Each structure stands twice: as structure tokens, then as C-alpha cells.
Amino acid sequence: MVKRAIAAFVILCAVFLAVLGLGDYAMSRFAPVSQDLGPAGETESEEPEENSLLPPENPTILIGVVGDVMMHEGQIWAGYDEVTGEFDYSEFFEEVKDDISSCDIAIANLETTLAGKERKFTGYPRFNSPDEIADALKEAGFDIIITSNNHCLDRGEEGLLRTLMMLEERDLIAVGTNASEEAKERISCIESNGIKTAILAYTYGTNGIPIPRAKPYLVNMIEEDRILKDLSSAKELCDIVLVYLHFGQEYKREPSAEQKSLALLLLENGADVVLGSHPHVIQPGEWVDVLDEYGRTVKKYVAYSLGNFISAQRFPYTEEGIILQILFEKDLSSDRIIIKDIVEIDTWVEKFKSDGKMRYYVRKGRKPSS
């Protein structure tokens, strides 16, 4: 599929919110009325009149989601060119680029900061990476970057704010951390193919690094009351609501009871799909039947953990991840959203040495047996 234009519709949203008494919420972080996330297609001539009486086709949207994008020390210097003194990470994602860019909306969790070289580039345990990793994500086809995770404050408030600035400069939409209270109150709602999608994101914590008391808006934390409030607002604005949670236990291949309970709560209260990261290994997803506001049974989906998209971790199963592609259809006769199909594309991270330096590549398929 060719990536289509995504529109913010801020003005219409503001009017709609005012009528509903939800004035604290805005439609999107976008300032422009329209933003093109891909090459524009040629305008086709209209079909002959004989087809004009046929009912319009239901629109669809393909959303792609991956797990953790990590930047360990080895990865940082794998992209460094000693001759030019510059960094380039585009080769990381070359093999899976088509699977990402073919989606109408593509989402990744950035588990590092872009705090600038003056704050020193480091890997684990407190991450700070060159801005060029954002360039590589953009080039690969990603549109939405999740920033609420346990490493978002690894360089403090200043690092968090600079990360947001660097993503914005590249027309990447950051979801989960915020530069102001006003930004926190906005719902990121994106339109593509006539279907509006809201993305909400929250984290269980920040590795013990305190959020400044006067600025609790900086990080979206997993707080049930707050998430339910955001879900209610998002459902008023958008057709689809995705919730991306940084939760669960690291290296556990099965979801915990707490993960299952929270995911079910969100699906029952308006989320269409719940997506997870943080365990650094794949946890199985599942379909969940819930009742909608009209008492109808609706199939929804939860992916408890999508694993690592890229990292230098070599614990068992941490080299594996999933590109989750979700095809939604909007039934124009009822305005209902249906999940038409879900595809899991297996990936793994190949690590090897070439020309005296380490290389890291996201490969498609399952990791070959050693």
C-alpha cells in the first residue's frame, strides 16, 4: 500500500470539543492542516457514470507497530564514520524498510534519549544516542515514536525535552512525553484514508529517576483513572484508539496477571488494540471479545510484548521481535471499525564484525539455529 496523506483537522476538532465541553483536548499535535507522510500518488480520472450508483468501498488503514528500539554502546559506534566524524544508522533497518513504509501509519518505541553529544553518548544503563537514529527511523518509514518508557528521563528533563525537539524537527510525532501541561492534554489523533486513529502511550515508571514535582506532565504514567479519561476523549474524536503500554516483567515470555487485567480494562473501555513493550522478548498476543456500548460482541486484540526491534542484548530470545501489521476497515453503513486482519512479521537482530567494526541488522524471519 502507498502511504497516504495524514491530516490533523485541528480547527474542526476544536469546534467539536467545544460543543462536547472537552475544551482541554485538541485533535492532534499537528499545526498544519495536512501533512503528507509519503510520496503523493497521481490523481486518477473519475470512473464512468455507469459506476456512480455503486456504493462506495469501505476505507481501510494498515497500521504497523514494532517494539523496543534500543541503542547500546556497540550500536552507537557501529554507525560512526571515523573519516567524516558523522553517524549513520540507516543500514539497521534496510531489510525491513518496505514492511514499515508500506503501512499507512508506522509506530516504534524509542528506548533512548536524544540529549545531544554534550551530554555524552552512552548505552545501558542510562541511554543517550546520536540524533541520527531518529533520521534512520524516519527513513525506514516510521511516523509515530513512543517516548514514554523507563529510559525517557535518562538525561533528566533537559534530555527529555531535547528528544521531543529532535523528533519534531524530523516530522516524527512523539507520543507519551510532553513539553507542557497543554501538550499532555492533547490527544494525538491522525487521519489517513478517511479513518481517524488516536495513539495513547504510558509507562510503568522511569527507573527511579524522579519526575520533577512541578512538572508531572512530562511523562505519561500508567494511572488507570487518567488512561480511562484519555480513552473517553479519544473515542469522541477518533474511529480507532490504540494504547501503547510500557509494562510487564523483563525477559518473561508470558504476560503477567497484571498485564492481562490492565489490557482487558482498556479494551472494555474504548481501546481497540493494546500494544506492549518492555519485556524485551516476545509475549503472545490474543483476541479478546468485549461488548460495545450497544451490547454487541466486538473482537479486539492485545499484543502484550512485541519484543526488541533492535538492540545489542544477547540474553535468550532478546534478539527477536515482531512487526505487527493491523488492517482496519471502516463500515460506512454503520461507522463501525473492524479489525480485518493481523499479520505478524518475525524479525531478529544479526550482529557481526565487518571491516573492524560491529554491524547490526534487523533481519526478517526467525533467527537461524546456532
First to last CA, the chain: 36
**What residues contact residue 159 under an 8 Å CB cut-off, 6+ apart?**
113, 114, 115, 116, 119, 128, 153
pLDDT above 70: percentage of residues in the chain: 86
274-304: pLDDT as tens digits: 999 999 999 999 999 999 888 889 999 999 9
Question: Into how many domains does the chain fold?
Answer: 1
Using the predicted structure, report yes or no on whether residue 26 has a pLDDT greater than 80.
Answer: no
Nearest to 245 by CA among 265, 262, 229: 262
**Window from 155-169, 197-211, 354-368 with minimum mean pLDDT:** 354-368
One DSSP character per residue, 65-100 reads: EEEEE---HHHHHHTEETTTTEE--GGGGGGGHHHH
| Residue 308 β-bridge partners | 68
Using the predicted structure, report yes or no on whether residue 10 has a pLDDT greater than 50.
Answer: no
CB 63 within 8 A of CB 104: yes
Q: For the chain, what is the mean pLDDT?
A: 89
Residue range 95-120: mean pLDDT, rounded: 98
211-236: pLDDT as tens digits: 999 999 999 999 999 999 999 999 99
Q: What is the model's pLDDT at position 45?
A: 47
Q: What is the model's pLDDT at position 34?
A: 34
Q: What is the model's pLDDT at position 356?
A: 83
129-142: pLDDT as tens digits: 999 999 999 999 99
Using the predicted structure, report yes or no on whether residue 92 has a pLDDT greater than 70.
Answer: yes
Q: What is the model's pLDDT at position 51?
A: 57
37-66: pLDDT as tens digits: 444 444 444 554 555 677 789 999 999 999
Using the predicted structure, report yes or no on whether residue 349 has a pLDDT greater than 70.
Answer: yes
What is the pLDDT confidence band of residue 21, given thresholds at 50, 70 and 90? very low
Three cell numbers written together for 35: 501533512
CB 317 within 8 A of CB 287: no
> Does 44 fall in a domain?
no
> Does 370 fall in a domain?
no
Using the predicted structure, report yes or no on whether residue 1 has a pLDDT greater than 90.
Answer: no
> Does 47 fall in a domain?
no
CB 289 within 8 A of CB 327: no
The pTM score is 0.86
* Alpha-carbon distance values, 331 to 33, 189, 196, 268 (Å): 25, 19, 13, 21
Q: What is the model's pLDDT at position 3?
A: 53
Task: List phi, psi (to 5°) of 318.
Answer: -80, -10
**Window from 11-25, 167-181, 193-207, 248-262 with minimum mean pLDDT:** 11-25
331-346: pLDDT as tens digits: 999 889 999 999 999 9
What phi-psi label fits residue 208: left (phi over 0), alpha (psi between -120 and 50 degrees) or beta?
Answer: left
Per-residue DSSP letter, 315 = S
Three-class SS state of 161: helix
Using the predicted structure, report yes or no on whether residue 31 has a pLDDT greater than 70.
Answer: no
* Alpha-carbon distance values, 180 to 175, 244, 245, 293 (Å): 13, 21, 21, 34
> Does 49 fall in a domain?
no
Residue 180: give its domain's CATH number: 3.60.21.10
Task: List phi, psi (to 5°) of 172.
Answer: -100, 135
**What residues contact residue 192 under an 8 Å CB cut-off, 6+ apart?**
4, 5, 6, 7, 37, 61, 104, 105
Q: What is the model's pLDDT at position 295?
A: 87
Q: What is the model's pLDDT at position 355?
A: 85
CA distance 269 to 273: 11
> Does 285 fall in a domain?
yes
**What residues contact residue 210 under an 8 Å CB cut-off, 6+ apart?**
none
> Does 133 fall in a domain?
yes
| Residue 175 β-bridge partners | 146
Three cell numbers written together for 71: 541503542
Using the predicted structure, report yes or no on whether residue 157 has a pLDDT greater than 90.
Answer: yes
Parent domain of 137 = 9-36+59-364
Q: What is the model's pLDDT at position 293?
A: 81
Q: Are strands 60-69 and 320-331 parallel, antiparallel or unpaired?
A: antiparallel
> Does 1 fall in a domain?
no
Handedness of CA 101, 242, 327, 193 (dihedral sign): negative
> Does 45 fall in a domain?
no
Q: What is the model's pLDDT at position 137?
A: 99
Using the predicted structure, report yes or no on whether residue 25 has a pLDDT greater than 70.
Answer: no
CB 61 within 8 A of CB 242: no
Q: What is the model's pLDDT at position 24?
A: 40
